[in-house]
Structure 1
């Protein structure tokens, strides 16, 4: 009788956790499922930041400019602005839209196939599959440094746009010469 009772109690002990409440804690952290870098700065959230590098086995060469894609969400009541992006030792600088990248209150920007920043002046060969430390600075939320992955231009990334170039300036059209 004793071995049967021991077996029943052991089975009950093993199955009891499965019967517990599976409800998620209100304080638990949700981990985004994406390939990019993520960070929280108060009410401003960075999601899925990544660079598109060269094809596998073909590193980008020094001097290259590399597009950066990301999503910014603002859960606050006031707008914030991404004012700079840097990767010292990897890139000479970065280009953002004029005035920075504004994130409206309770809104978001990015998460599109158009880059939100352009990293300029690559200083050393850069392979897809690596990650580089990048510092993002916001007007109000402060700064954060994240490890941003360099992903190959394959799969869905093959459809992403490069940095938008400036519209060409139209050449002046000569006006007709009046006839005598």
Structure 2
């Protein structure tokens, strides 16, 4: 294959500035701020059932970080939302522990990034997790797209024929629904 040309210095400088801006915004998420106040990454990363127990926070798992970065790209570039408005919503979601306790059936990430049968991360859920983050932040206008997302989420949250709703109850797959869009 061809080797891409090195971008011009000005372009590189611009890209680095944008990247810095992204990291500055990521640093405003309460989960990441807790590291600065002395909490350990391992504590935030581990599941509650592990010894010692942890918080099961999606933001401290590589697959969660990749899903978030992918969603941020879609929200900023395709949906043309400002990082400021995106992160205002994500901060509130984080304060409400939306990224935490993914091993609990009420979590948006249960069955998507967390496999309750094997009690481990589901790397295969990365793309669906990205779509879910985009939905949480920006909603989905198109009825068909929303229906496809709802189906994919219901499928991910269905185990041995039983689906689990976002309030942790067993329901029929078509009753799973989607979490509330962030305001």
TM-score range, shorter chain: under 0.3
Decide which structure has the larger Cα Rg and report it.
1
TM-score by length of 1: 0.23
Question: What TM-score results when the alignment is normalised by the length of structure 2?
Answer: 0.23
| Highest RCO, 1 vs 2 (Cα 8 Å, sep ≥ 6) | 1
